[in-house]
């Protein structure tokens, strides 16, 4: 009997080794057309056009009228942020938005960096492209594509861009200096929305080629991490390295060890820090997912319904978006009357991000990205099963929605060369902790280029 058990175990391990060993796979590149009508016979206009964010008196007056007509329901006593956005604190935000927030000034802030648009596969794609003002002698800037997620925008990167394009004047090493490209995902902000599921990774790859980059670095969190991962799976020879601050690890041998890790963590490669961030599983994973994933279910199934309300009400839009900037920054902020929002962000930064959704009317199309990418059996699709054969760095921020141990990552990203436990920070790392994230990106690139 024991011999049979041992033989079965050995056979299982052999089968597992063959199934899980690294395979040099890539996704098919293919092509597509997401714009209105048929693809033009002569090919699309590949010009890159300067773009400028603008506003008007009518836009601002309409916003103010809608804020003035807001109807709020008083919160339950001592409910803080446990029921969602606290209406008492929302009154303060609305007062500032209506009487103190200067959208014209923030438009000038947005235009601080050069904006562009270009047609790719029928869609007008918006991006900012920031080059260093000067470079150390004999040095070239490294192209870095940075991709945002939901409910963020390209504006998330405004605080980190100077640290990457001008590191020396911001107290960082200038061994690696970057030129940074931050596109808006199709259907977000100033990028045109598609009428069907769109291949964002391929579009952003074509954007980098159009800008003249045959090799480049990529970085992302939230949806940006998935888009960057897909780019690495599509064109690994063009991606020099990929840095992530979030990862979707859903089908993985090591995730099965989670319930045994509390007692046998060392056997599965869990560090003490992993144990602190993962356990107790019931509270830090199970309850957290139940509490925080309602929006995901709605947006993965019926995004247009809630989109109708949010696109019509700036107050509702602000509450819906800013609640995520509270809880996803630190889950303990649920216990505060103000959701802790101003502990990490300025109201100007938060409302600028909201205004990008409001003025472009893109909340519904942004939510459709969930239905397009998390539909039926999405984890069975090839990108979720494929390993990524591109050098990878990862920044594990302690207040991220779900902690991903290094062992989990290495299963999908076998060329993981840098894994960092960050000192503080949550989901919106580039906006919340730009210096920590910039230092980790620079560290990763340094490790890779010294190999």
Query: How many whole angstroms from its chain centre is CA 190?
Result: 17
Backbone φ and ψ for 117, nearest 5 degrees, come out as -135, 150
DSSP codes, 107-171: HHHHTTS-EEEEEETTEEEEEEEE--S---TT--PEEEEEE--TT--GGGGTTTHHHHHS-GGGT
Residue carrying structure tokens 């159009």: 210
Q: Which residues contact 4 (CB under 8 A, 6 or more apart)?
A: none
Is 222 among the catalytic positions?
yes
DSSP label at residue 435? H
Phi-psi region of 377 (alpha: psi -120 to 50; beta: other; left: phi over 0): left
Task: Out of 166, 222, 274, 440, pick the active-site residue.
Answer: 222
DSSP codes, 21-44: S-------------SSSSPPTT--
Is 64 among the catalytic positions?
no
Encoding tokens for residue 102?
């200067």
Give the containing element (helix H, strand E) for 214: none
Q: By CB neighbour count within 10 A (0-12 exposed, 13-18 middle, 19+ buried), where does 37 fall? A: exposed
Is 370 among the catalytic positions?
yes
- The answer to whether the CB of 422 falls within 8 A of the CB of 439 is no
Q: By CB neighbour count within 10 A (0-12 exposed, 13-18 middle, 19+ buried), where does 7 fall? A: exposed
Q: Rounded to whole angstroms, how far apart are CA atoms 331 and 117? A: 37
- The answer to whether the CB of 357 falls within 8 A of the CB of 351 is no
Q: By CB neighbour count within 10 A (0-12 exposed, 13-18 middle, 19+ buried), where does 421 fall? A: middle
Q: Rounded to whole angstroms, how far apart are CA atoms 61 and 223? A: 33
Task: Out of 155, 270, 370, 419, pick the active-site residue.
Answer: 370
Q: Any idea which residues carry the catalytic annotation?
A: 222, 370, 427
């Amino acid at each position: 009997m024991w011999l049979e058990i041992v033989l079965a175990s050995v056979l299982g391990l052999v089968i597992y080794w063959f199934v899980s060993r690294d395979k040099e796979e890539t996704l098919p590149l293919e092509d597509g057309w997401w714009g209105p009508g048929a693809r033009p016979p002569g090919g699309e206009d590949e010009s890159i056009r300067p773009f400028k964010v603008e506003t008007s008196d009518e836009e601002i007056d309409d916003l103010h009228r809608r804020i003035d007509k807001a109807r709020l329901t008083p919160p339950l006593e001592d409910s803080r942020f446990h029921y969602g956005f606290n209406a008492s604190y929302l009154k303060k935000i609305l007062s500032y938005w209506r009487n103190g927030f200067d959208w014209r000034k923030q438009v000038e802030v947005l235009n601080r960096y050069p904006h562009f648009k270009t047609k790719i596969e029928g869609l007008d794609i918006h991006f900012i492209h920031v080059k260093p003002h000067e470079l150390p002698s004999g040095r070239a800037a490294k192209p870095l594509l940075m991709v945002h997620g939901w409910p963020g925008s390209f504006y998330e990167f405004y605080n980190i861009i100077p640290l990457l394009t001008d590191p020396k004047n911001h107290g960082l090493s200038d061994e690696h200096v970057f030129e940074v490209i931050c596109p808006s995902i199709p259907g977000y902000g100033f990028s045109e929305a598609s009428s069907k599921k769109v291949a964002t990774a391929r579009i952003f790859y074509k954007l980098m080629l159009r800008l003249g980059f045959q090799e480049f670095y990529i970085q992302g969190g939230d949806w940006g991490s998935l888009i960057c991962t897909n780019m690495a799976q599509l064109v690994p020879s063009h991606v020099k390295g990929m840095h992530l601050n979030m990862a979707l690890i859903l089908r993985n041998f090591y995730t099965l060890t989670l319930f045994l890790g509390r007692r046998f963590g060392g056997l599965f490669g869990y560090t003490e820090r992993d144990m602190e961030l993962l356990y107790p599983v019931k509270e830090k994973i199970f309850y957290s997912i139940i509490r925080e994933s309602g929006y995901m279910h709605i947006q993965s199934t019926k995004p247009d319904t809630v989109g109708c309300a949010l696109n019509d009400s700036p107050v509702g839009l602000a509450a819906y978006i800013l609640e995520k900037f509270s809880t996803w920054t630190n889950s303990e902020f649920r216990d505060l009357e103000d959701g802790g929002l101003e502990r990490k962000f300025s109201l100007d930064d938060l409302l600028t991000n909201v205004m990008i959704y409001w003025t472009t009317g893109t909340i519904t199309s942004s939510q459709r990205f969930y239905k397009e990418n998390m539909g039926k059996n999405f984890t069975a699709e090839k990108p979720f099963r494929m390993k990524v054969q591109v050098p990878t760095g990862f920044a594990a921020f302690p207040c991220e929605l779900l902690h991903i141990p290094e062992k989990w990552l290495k299963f999908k990203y076998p060329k993981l060369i840098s894994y960092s436990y960050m000192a503080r920070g949550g989901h919106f790392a580039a906006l919340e902790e730009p210096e920590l994230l910039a230092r980790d990106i620079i560290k990763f690139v340094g490790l890779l280029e010294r190999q």
